[in-house]
Amino acid sequence: MAFKTFTASIKLLIDQERNKVLLAEAGNDFIDTLRSLLKLPLGNIGLLFRKNKCLLTGCLDNLNNSVENLSLNSFRTHACKRMLLYPRSIHKDKPVQYFTCKKRGCGLLSYYETSRCSCGKLMNSEIYLEEMERDG
């Protein structure tokens, strides 16, 4: 298996007295990679700590706070920001909710009621899917 090399360029403005990064500038590839880290189950760990008011410090907390403080202009939709801040877990005890738009025939589903359909309508109509039988 061959591995691809990924090179990223980051410009940092650092307050050397406090040993803090004041500003970071990077390309879209690096930002997309950083955002993908929030899609890992680590996002759920941070969410559980915040919900239970546990002390959480370090890079995971900083990453979540940074996403929380980003303006909506940094995301395609509000739903994209919610997906990163509140990742879904397959281990939740409540059944998965699906949403679609009210226009018939679109056929798109979303986990988030704030998503937009390809027709432009809000996907806020909850639908229930029957569990399909799977062949082993």
Task: Tell me the pLDDT tens digit for each residue of 48-88.
Answer: 777 776 665 667 677 778 888 988 888 888 888 888 887 77
pTM beyond 0.85: the answer is no
**3-state secondary structure labels for all residues of 70-98:** CCHHHCCCHHHHHHHHCCCCCCCCCCCCE
Task: Tell me the pLDDT tens digit for each residue of 93-122.
Answer: 566 788 888 887 788 888 888 888 888 888
